[in-house]
Amino acid sequence: MPTFKRILSLLLLSLAVTAQAAPETRELKVGFVPGPYIDEFKLGVQPELEKKGYRIKLYEFSTGLEANSAVFKGDIDANVMQHTVFLNSYNERNKTDLVGIVQVPTPPMGLYSRKHKDLDNLKKGFTVAVPNDPVNLQRALWILQRLGWIRIRENKPVDVTELDVIENKVGLKLLLLENAQGPRALDDADYVAIQGNFAIFAKLKLSEAFILEDMKSPYINVLAVKKTRQDDAYARDLVQAYRSENFQKAIRADRFYDGFTLPDYFSTRKD
C-alpha cells in the first residue's frame, strides 16, 4: 500500500506536470495612435501572440508623446506609431530610453490635393501645407524638392525649419501645421503633404497621392519598448510575431496594404 509520503510525492509531481503543460496567461498592453498600425496588429500579430497564451489589451492615444510616455512609465508594454528618427529625437528631448525592436509595414508620406487634378499650371503664391515638427517637415521638403519645386539645405532632422528652403523655384507658400491636421487642410491649401498613417486614418488612398516619398529605413515605423525590457520574453515574442510567416502572408493578401513600405524581413518571402 502506498505510503502517505508516496501519495504526496505523486500528487506534487502531477501538479508540476500540469503547470508546465498549461501555457501561462500574461497580459500584454500595446499602444497605438490613429492610423493603420492597430489593424495590422489585429490582423496578423495578435493571433500569433494569443497562441502563446497572451491576453492582449490595445490602447489608442491621441498623440505619439502620450504613447511614448505610457511606455516609459510602464503603463503599457510597447507602442507602434513612430519611426526611428522621431524616436531618437524624443529620447534626446525627454531623457528617456525607448528603443525600436522590429520594423512594421508603413504607409509613406504623400502629396495630396482636393483643389487640383495635377501638378501643372501653378500660380505664384499657391499654398502647400506641411508638418510643423522638424523631422516630418524635412520629409515633406524632400518631396517638394523631388518635384523640382524647391531646393533645400541639408540639415539634421531635429534642426530643420522652413528657412532651410534656399531656393523657391515656383513661388509656393509653405503653411506649417500640426501633423495630424494634414487631412483637414485639404479644404484650404492647394496641396498638403500628409504622413501616411494620418492619410489612411482620413480614408485617403495612397494611390490618390500625386507623389509618395521615397521612404528609407530610418523612417519606417517600429515597435518600441523600454531599453531595459528589450530582452524580456514578451519583447522577443512580439518580434517573432511580426516576423512570422502568417503575419507576412496576411499583409500581402490584403490589398489595403498596397503601397506600404515593407520591412526588410519581408524580402524572405516563401511562395
**Residue 173 parent element (H or E):** strand 173-177
pLDDT band at 12 (very low <50, low <70, confident <90, very high): low
Q: CA triplet 153, 186, 203: central angle to 5 degrees?
A: 110
pLDDT band at 155 (very low <50, low <70, confident <90, very high): confident
Q: Do residues 242 and 41 lie in contact, with contact meaning Cβ atoms separated by under 8 Å?
A: no
CA distance 76 to 61: 11
CATH architecture of 110-214: 3-Layer(aba) Sandwich (3.40)
Which three three-digit cell numbers place residue 216?
528609407
Is domain 23-106+218-268 given the CATH code 3.40.190.10 in the classification? yes
Which three three-digit cell numbers place residue 101?
525592436
Rounded mean pLDDT, 140-144:
97
- Residues in CB range of 221: below 8 A, 6 or more apart: 37, 80, 81, 82, 83, 103, 104, 106, 197
Domain boundaries in the chain?
23-106+218-268, 110-214
Instruction: Please give the biggest Cα pair distance in the chain.
Output: 100
Q: CA triplet 55, 58, 63: central angle to 5 degrees?
A: 155
Say whether pLDDT at 159 is over 90.
Answer: no
Which three three-digit cell numbers place residue 190?
492647394
Say whether pLDDT at 19 is over 70.
Answer: no
